[in-house]
Structure 1
Amino acid sequence: MTTTEAAERPIAKGAWYALAVLTLVYVFNAVDRSVMSIVIEPVRHEFGLNDSQLGLLTGLAFGLTYAIAGIPIGMLVDRVNRRNLLSVMLFAWSGATAFCGLATGYVSLVVSRLVVGAAESAGAPTALSMIADLFPKSRRSTPIGIFWVSTALGTAISLVIGGVIATNYGWRAAFFIAGVPGILLAFLLFFTVKEPVREVDVKGAQLKAPSYFSTLAYIFRTPTVRHPFLGIALNSIAMSGVPVWAASFLIRTQDFSLAQAGLFAGIGVGVFGGIGSLIGGPLGDIVTRRFGLPALASVPMVMSAASFFSGLVFALSGNLIMVAIGFILFEIFSRAHTASAYAMLLGGVESRMRGVVVSSVQAATNLIGYGVGPLIVGVVSQLVGGGSNSLQFGMMAVMFAMLWATGHFALAWRAARRDSV
């Protein structure tokens, strides 16, 4: 099968149902990941924690094991049945989330989050590798965009429902409610979704998965893959830091209650972040059809720059209306970059490289983004003084990573144009 034929192959049978289930799986990936953010304040009061400890708990405790486990899991994705692998890992991270509700102190919470991070590292690599084999390259950005709606929707569910549950039944109940549905979903995935057939080479034999280091070497010697990789990782610093601290930011700066802050942040992330994800996929396909494949990099470049400026409005405005406008625009623009950026990654590597490539970029986004992003906000806030407005400076600090990411997507666009000549 030639590259052109592979790009134009029909959509696989059952692809849209599989996409729906995989998207739902990643909804609960986001729920279980972000439920900690809505219960920051009650956990802080119960265990007497400071902002740096909370930044570690919400970020690095999750991101560290995510990054470490992502390496072997990415290799497994390229070698084993992905449906089975994802089913097992979904069961594991959902159970560990529920176990957070039994924590007796800070250490047990950290340990539980370490387990959640390790198991969740299988989520995106398996799902995106499967999606790439279900849909042809020419129609891949839109399903990827649909898939990434899951992060906004899951975060919103966590913030809104988690806030209500934590307010009425306590923060421990929020973890139980977040974890149990994923356990049931693991069985639905295993029994109703088939493992997609991987793309094959010109001889009709399955491609042999290269070594982990060979794949990494390919990533970093190929500018059209390297720069999107780095851009995604840098953007994740703000994309993770802002939602994690959004509820606390609103409680401290706007005198919101826990339930009000969860509702506000949840609607912002879920509705407008979801809109951004849905816009980003078709926008990437439209730009590609109109200006050619090299222009795909212009979408995450423009969206990253717009995220930087709208994020500053959110972080620095004291007026609630401007805070809301900044937050809404930040969620739209930041989520809109994702589909086209990942489409560049998946389209730039061989089929049996995708697990390692996606797991590597997810390791970077979770170690650098989800691990370091919330920690930066907390540390900067504490250094400023830890008062009611100190989180403004923490939020502002993580926005500059998006400006840096803009430069990488610009370099990716230049490299793609050069390669197309």
Structure 2
Amino acid sequence: MRKRRGTKIPRGAIVLLLSAIYAVNYIDRQILAIVLEHIKHEFGVSDTLLGLLVGPAFALFYATLGMPIALAADRMSRSRIIAASLACFSVMTLACGLAARFWQLVVSRMLTGVGEAGTGPASQSIVSDLYPPAERATAQAIYATGVNVGLMIAFFAGGWIADNYGWRAAFIAAGVPGLVLTLLAVVILRDPPRAVAAPTGAEARLGFLWRQRSYRYIVLGTAMSAFSGYGITAFVPAFLIRSHGMGSTEVGLIFALIVGLGGGLGTYATGRIADLAARRGGIQRNLLVPAVAAIIATPFWVPFFLSGKVAVAIAAAVIPVSLSASFIGPCIATIQTITPPAMRARAAAIQLFVGNLIGLGLGPLVIGVLSDLLRPLLGADSLRYAMFAGVAAAFASIPFYLIAARHVPEDLARLDA
């Protein structure tokens, strides 16, 4: 039998390539956060409009188009879908840097969301086909460190470029790496063999996912975590600039180190811990990891937002920021394990759909609206208190993860049946 082209590439190298694509995805997505104050001053828009730009303008297209693209990924070449999507959002990130009007920037962000919708579900599906359940949380966590790498580069390079060359140059610089990775993906990325053929009949009906009760609660838990992560991340640079008088370069450097080093270590470690816990007590223990991480992180947000000393605020941010993506590896691994292999991309897309509508769509928007509503009373410090909405969402994720863990064994039994 003829061997499939590309099977000689080590699976670790494929995961690293997919993680690099995820990093570029996050660079293009989060570069906006570090240049938000520059955009506000140039176009003279409110925090509500900034929240709209960061959230719904991107999230509606990103979340909605994820489903049809994931359906195609369950039936067609996942590697080609990833390469095409990567090229699309990289080009549209370049277009953001050319926007002369605020509405043009909004449209460009919408189309960036169109491209980014295609990489996540297909990548998660490929990683799950490369690794067995006992190693899956670690593999998905390594893939998910792309979030931290992307945020690190977006904060550090974006802040420095924006201060020295303008916010448009930051967008242009963010779009170029994706085009390079597109060429690399076309050359070396190939689909691994799927565990089963494309879904047909009863298995293809999404009702099966609805009957997996743990899946429902994982989706809700990750939506709350995403609300917190996206909402807070979008406005942290603006908060430090307004309330502590820091510059974009300074903010970018500090949070690049926290998000990149602390966050990368936290994301990998929680995935590894989840795998070790699952081997001892079952896959349901994966979900205890994000619950415990949220419990640990929540108290540290209080001094970060309320301290009048910048050193105290930065020190307090280390723990919660490092744990902000801790839910990704364990939750992805659990979803991919309780889902039939032929439905994995769609299961990921539904989770991303709900998570991004609630998290990315509403997180920045709600915080922006609250900031504007509180401004007459609190002035420039209104954003300081508005971001507590993100803390509340993180705390609300805890019961969803705990309830989901309780239902995993029965859902695994249904899958086996």
TM-score > 0.5, shorter chain as reference? yes
Q: CA deviation at 1:307?
A: 3.0
Q: Identity rate of aligned residues, in percent?
A: 32
Moved more, 332-341 or 59-68: 332-341
Q: Distance in 2 between matches of 1:13 and 1:50?
A: 49
Q: Distance in 2 between matches of 1:229 and 1:210?
A: 25
Q: 1:339 aligns with which of 320, 329, 340?
A: 329
Q: Distance in 2 between matches of 1:116 and 1:36?
A: 12
Q: 1:160 aligns with which of 121, 146, 156?
A: 156
Give the secondary structure class of the aligned counterpart of 1:196: coil
Given that residues 219 and 355 in structure 2 are in contact (C-alpha distance below 8 angstroms), is that contact kept between their aligned partners in structure 1? no
Q: Are 1:321 and 2:311 counterparts? A: yes
Given that residues 90 and 120 in structure 1 are in contact (C-alpha distance below 8 angstroms), is that contact kept between their aligned partners in structure 2? yes
Q: Give the letter aligned to residue 114 of structure 1.
A: M
Q: CA deviation at 1:105?
A: 0.7
Give the secondary structure class of the aligned counterpart of 1:273: helix
Q: 1:72 aligns with which of 64, 68, 75?
A: 68
Q: CA deviation at 1:27?
A: 0.6
Q: CA distance change for structure 1 residues 252 and 95 in 2, over 3 Å: closer, same or farther?
A: same
Q: Distance in 2 between matches of 1:291 and 1:323?
A: 38
Question: Which residues of structure 2 form unaligned runs of 5+?
Answer: 1-6
Given that residues 250 and 261 in structure 1 are in contact (C-alpha distance below 8 angstroms), is that contact kept between their aligned partners in structure 2? yes
| 1:218 aligned residue | 208
Q: Distance in 2 between matches of 1:212 and 1:114?
A: 33
Given that residues 148 and 277 in structure 1 are in contact (C-alpha distance below 8 angstroms), is that contact kept between their aligned partners in structure 2? yes
Q: Distance in 2 between matches of 1:345 and 1:210?
A: 21
Give the secondary structure class of the aligned counterpart of 1:46: helix
Q: Distance in 2 between matches of 1:14 and 1:60?
A: 38
Q: CA deviation at 1:219?
A: 2.5
Q: Give the letter aligned to residue 76 of structure 2.
A: V
Q: Distance in 1 between matches of 2:242 and 2:331?
A: 34
- How many correspondences in the alignment? 405
Q: Are 1:287 and 2:283 counterparts? A: no
| 2:4 aligned residue | none
Give the secondary structure class of the aligned counterpart of 2:185: helix
Q: CA distance change for structure 1 residues 12 and 349 in 2, over 3 Å: closer, same or farther?
A: farther
Q: Give the letter aligned to residue 375 of structure 1.
A: L
Q: Distance in 1 between matches of 2:86 and 2:177?
A: 10
Q: Give the letter aligned to residue 296 of structure 2.
A: A
Given that residues 230 and 408 in structure 1 are in contact (C-alpha distance below 8 angstroms), is that contact kept between their aligned partners in structure 2? yes
1:89-238 aligned within 5 A: 89-200=85-196, 206-208=197-199, 214-215=205-206, 217-238=207-228
Q: Give the letter aligned to residue 37 of structure 1.
A: A
| 2:389 aligned residue | 397
Give the secondary structure class of the aligned counterpart of 1:263: helix
Q: 1:357 aligns with which of 347, 353, 377?
A: 347
Given that residues 213 and 411 in structure 2 are in contact (C-alpha distance below 8 angstroms), is that contact kept between their aligned partners in structure 1? no
Give the secondary structure class of the aligned counterpart of 2:323: helix
Q: Distance in 1 between matches of 2:300 and 2:328?
A: 17
Q: Give the letter aligned to residue 126 of structure 2.
A: M
Q: CA distance change for structure 1 residues 384 and 352 in 2, over 3 Å: closer, same or farther?
A: same
Q: Are 1:53 and 2:49 counterparts? A: yes
Deviations 1:221-242 (A, max 9, x none): 2122111111111100011111
Q: Give the letter aligned to residue 168 of structure 2.
A: R
Q: CA deviation at 1:350?
A: 0.7
Q: 1:25 aligns with which of 21, 27, 37?
A: 21
Deviations 1:60-111 (A, max 9, x none): 1110111111121111111110000110110000000001111011100000
| 1:380 aligned residue | 370
Moved more, 28-37 or 363-372: 363-372
* CA RMSD, Structure 1 to Structure 2 (Å): 1.9
Q: CA deviation at 1:364?
A: 1.8
Q: CA distance change for structure 1 residues 16 and 100 in 2, over 3 Å: closer, same or farther?
A: same
Give the secondary structure class of the aligned counterpart of 2:205: helix
Question: Which residues of structure 1 form unaligned runs of 5+?
Answer: 1-10, 201-205
Moved more, 297-306 or 124-133: 297-306
Q: CA deviation at 1:365?
A: 2.0
| 2:240 aligned residue | 250
Deviations 1:342-398 (A, max 9, x none): 111010101111111111111222221112111111111111116221111111112
Q: Are 1:34 and 2:30 counterparts? A: yes
Q: Are 1:240 and 2:230 counterparts? A: yes
Q: CA distance change for structure 1 residues 161 and 419 in 2, over 3 Å: closer, same or farther?
A: closer
Give the secondary structure class of the aligned counterpart of 2:89: helix
Given that residues 209 and 352 in structure 1 are in contact (C-alpha distance below 8 angstroms), is that contact kept between their aligned partners in structure 2? no
Give the secondary structure class of the aligned counterpart of 1:55: helix
Moved more, 148-157 or 357-366: 357-366
Q: Distance in 1 between matches of 2:156 and 2:216?
A: 36
Q: Distance in 1 between matches of 2:203 and 2:51?
A: 31
| 1:44 aligned residue | 40
